[in-house]
Amino acid sequence: MNRRLGILISGRGSNLQSIVDAIAQGDLHATIAVVISNRPEAAGLLRAREAGLETVCLRQKDFDGRDAYDAAVAEELRKRDVNLVCLAGFMRLVGRPLLEAFPNRILNIHPSLLPAFPGLEAQRQALEYGVRIAGATVHLVTEALDGGPIVLQAAVPVLPADTVETLSARILVEEHRLYPQAIQVVLDGGWRLDGRRFVVDAPASV
């Protein structure tokens, strides 16, 4: 099966780095075909170039509307024969043209135990709500914001002295472990959706 990834970023790119590292270490059997950013200043673009990856920057302001933008992203991915799209801190809602080009083939990582705390500043939301357990979720992307079927989750404790920064850092460690693992699960196939449930019928051997 085609294991070519397209990674979409907007910022720091630490999750991109964890995917690059997992591939280099042989823990993730995939190839990164392209890294696309919507922001030219994204630090992740630099990381990608340092890793020798092809990068593309597409800015919304150069396109006439959201659909045109999403269609252009889909085109860049298709041109490179991408099979799985990984959002890694991509700060845009994914619209129809992209969803339809890659049905159930777009993953996102979110820094909360969904369905709790979707949207922006998930770690702050968790801290302010007062939950004792926080975490990270990798899910398939649908039209619902942070609402698609869940592939993997990881939990971390919220400690009494936590700030948004310390909690985010603890969650990030889990994100970096979880995302490459979830990508491997999706690429390995043998899964299906049962309603909202992501069901693996033929788990990859461990």
Which residues contact ligand GRF by CB under 6 A? 9, 11-15, 44, 88-89, 109-111, 175
- Number of residues that this document lists for the chain: 206
Minimal distance in Å, beta carbon 169 to ligand GRF?
A: 10
- If the CB atoms of residues 173 and 193 are measured against ligand GRF, the closer one turns out to be 173
DSSP for residue 61: G
Q: Which DSSP string do the residues of 28-47 spell out, in sequence order?
A: S--EEEEEEES-TT-HHHHH
Query: Residue written as tokens 């357990």?
Result: 133
Minimal distance in Å, beta carbon 201 to ligand GRF?
A: 28
Minimal distance in Å, beta carbon 8 to ligand GRF?
A: 11
Query: Residue written as tokens 């659909």?
Result: 67
- Quick one: which of 138, 56, 68, 70 has its CA closest to 100? 70
- If the CB atoms of residues 4 and 12 are measured against ligand GRF, the closer one turns out to be 12
* β 133-140/150-157 pair status: antiparallel
- If the CB atoms of residues 76 and 121 are measured against ligand GRF, the closer one turns out to be 121
* Element at 152 (helix H, strand E): strand 150-157
State the catalytic residues: 110
